[in-house]
Amino acid sequence: MNTTQGRIAFQGELGAYSHQACVEAFPQMEPLPCNTFEGAIAAVREGRAELAMLPVENSTYGRVADIHSLLPGSGLYIVGEHFVRVHICLLGVPGAKLADVREAVSHTVLLGQCRGFLESHGIARVTDSDTAGAAKHVAAEGKPARAALASELAGSIYGLEVLAKNIEDNSHNTTRFLVMSPRKIEAAPQEPEVITTFVFQVRNIPAALYKAMGGFATNGVNMTKLESYMVGGNFTATQFYADITGHPEDPAVRRALDELRYFTTNVAILGVYPASELRREQAEA
């Protein structure tokens, strides 16, 4: 996808990992921080940004809350994906040393990912609502005994020094982001690897999900993701979110989707987009 100008919206403060995803994937675009996921979606829908970068899942902590339920009604389309390897830095005020730090401030998820490092250095954990926000707060307080856990990008933005880097316990921790656009831009069928994302609800008949999924197996279509969530707080209404490898125009995919529609209701394709380079590399490994 070639985007040479404009804004890209994300949830969080400047320096958040979502901001890092924007910089890596679209370095030429201006990042637009938003308070919420809904705010980032609204920024695109209202024309204040051309794209949105939304985290959908993390390799350690699973899916990102709310995103699956927001996407179908967002009015936006998935036009790409991007993976960010989550490297965590301990960031201190200028002149501070690692030995000075008594407290580390960050989002609870990052605090949990650095448990081993913090315990080995006798550093207490302090929860903040946002990783980049924690860096911003530490910079404002100016205390050598208090550091932040955040990205190196956040440190450069808020004038903090890296006291230790790559301190995460899980060396493979990665977050997957979806690139959202108000325009329906689909990958060409001849792309080397295409991801099709869709949502659906199963009909209220016995073994409906089993039968709906059977079409993908019999047609040799690889389903890389299938998750369920409630619709409207109703325990009897379940919607499914799925990723498959292949283009809807591929004969095998077309047959599988036709069979899916027979056993389901409200099938909606959210995006047909090229697989990221990281996904292709992993598939070839």
3-state secondary structure the chain: CCCCCCEEEEECCCCCHHHHHHHHHCCCCEEEEECCHHHHHHHHHCCCCCEEEEEEEECCCEECCCHHHHCCCCCCEEEEEEEEECCCEEEECCCCCHHHCCEEEECHHHHHHCHHHHHHCCCEEEECCCHHHHHHHHHHHCCCCEEEEECHHHHHHHCCEEEEECCCCCCCCEEEEEEEECCCCCCCCCCCCEEEEEEEEECCCCCHHHHHHHHHHHCCCCEEEEEEEEECCEEEEEEEEEEEECCCCCHHHHHHHHHHHHHEEEEEEEEEEECCHHHHHHHHC
pLDDT of residue 234: 63
Which comes out higher in pLDDT, residue 65 or 133? 133
Per-residue pLDDT of 233-285, as tens digits, reads: 666 667 899 999 999 999 999 999 999 998 888 899 999 999 987 776 665 55
What is the pLDDT of the chain when averaged over all its residues? Answer: 91
Q: How many Cβ atoms sit within 10 Å of the Cβ of residue 240?
A: 20
First to last CA, the chain: 25
pLDDT of residue 78: 98
Beta-sheet pairing, 51-58 with 174-181:
antiparallel
pLDDT of residue 265: 82
- Cα 94 to the center of its chain, rounded Å: 32
Q: Residues 26, 28, 32, 38: is their CA dihedral positive or negative?
A: negative
Active site residues: 175, 177
